[in-house]
Amino acid sequence: MIGMQQLSYSELKNFTLAKKRIMVIRLLFLSVFLLSATVVVAQNEVEVPARTRINCIFNSLVTRQDKPGTVVSAEVEKDVVVNGVVVIAKGSPVDAKIRTNNKPKKTYYSQDELSGELVIDIFSTVAVDGSTVKMNDCYLQTFNNKNFDWFTPNTKTVLQPNSIKICETPLPMKVVVK
């Protein structure tokens, strides 16, 4: 064999031992890397429990002319924090629509007053990771002519801007945070 150096038994043993050490060190670094990546993933995922409170604030004025199906502008009033981590940021948009907007009426036979009502369905908002957070809640306001003047032309407001509704999440969900 030309160009090959012949190794003694002790040199060959040391060479093989050095290769084994290098392999063990590589495996050790690889396992530490994989373990740290698993820990980082586990730390970035937060479970939002069921019945977590979310304060929603209505930004738009709702008038007696607004019809069912009208989108109502709303957002999250303050950060929602779970285990010291923000999972829903203040200002996140809230999906809300008017379901019912009826003024009070009198029954034909008895002249008893029936209450009017405003029902706004609140469906969802957005978590910090972009996922949808379901709320399945509603804002309900009932009134009659004694506590609300529906028949004066200047009184058109049913719900003032900056009105607040406290909603809850119906089910637990996981949110990935940074």
120-136, pLDDT tens digit by residue? 999 999 999 999 999 88
Per-residue pLDDT band for 82 (boundaries 50, 70, 90) equals very high
Distance CA 136, CA 119 (A): 13
CATH class label, 49-176 = mainly beta
- Provide the residue ranges of all domains of the chain, joining segments of one domain with +: 9-45, 49-176
| Residue 148 Cα distances to 53, 122, 137, 162, angstroms | 30, 24, 24, 19
Whether the predicted pLDDT of 104 surpasses 70: yes
* C-alpha torsion angle, residues 31, 32, 34, 37 (rounded to 10): 170
Task: Indicate the pTM of the whole model.
Answer: 0.67
- Could you read off the pLDDT of 144-155 as tens digits, one per residue? 655 555 555 555
Q: What is the pLDDT of residue 108?
A: 59
